[in-house]
Amino acid sequence: MHLDAFEDKTYEELDQLLATHEKVAGLGAFDRAKILRRVYGEVACDWDDVGNPFVLGAHPVCPVCGSQEMTYWEFKEPPELVDVEVEAVTHNRWNSLSRNERLGLVAKSLLDWTIKGDGYLKGDGG
């Protein structure tokens, strides 16, 4: 799946909601963007068929073993172009929620995290 962040309005909307949360409100736009990238898929995107959230910047799935934890990558010589249809991420659950319900999801996504000075989210053990 892919996200067209220039056209997808949920990305900007979630950023605006994050900016109102007490844990994030004092951060600058750059640090808030780091947090947005970490929580966006879990909060605003529909999860896949097996219950996994959409993750921005995730590695592709290995076609052999199905893992996203590849030890190394190899280039193919000569390069081979492969035409693959990639579906856009969906937001059916998000779109069905009220503003207050969306704010609740934002708060829940930040509940188990501590905002560090550099804007990264670090788990509190969970």
Residue-wise pLDDT for 26-71, tens only, equals 888 888 888 888 889 889 999 888 888 888 777 777 777 877 777 7
The amino acid sitting at 108 is: K
123 forms beta bridges with 113
Task: Tell me 26's DSSP state.
Answer: T
User: Greater confidence, 123 or 16?
Assistant: 16
Domain-wise residue ranges, the chain: 9-58+86-123
pLDDT at 97 over 70: yes
- pTM value is 0.72
| Contact call for residues 21 and 84 (beta carbons, < 8 A) | no
Work out the number of other CB atoms within 10 angstroms of the CB of residue 90: 14
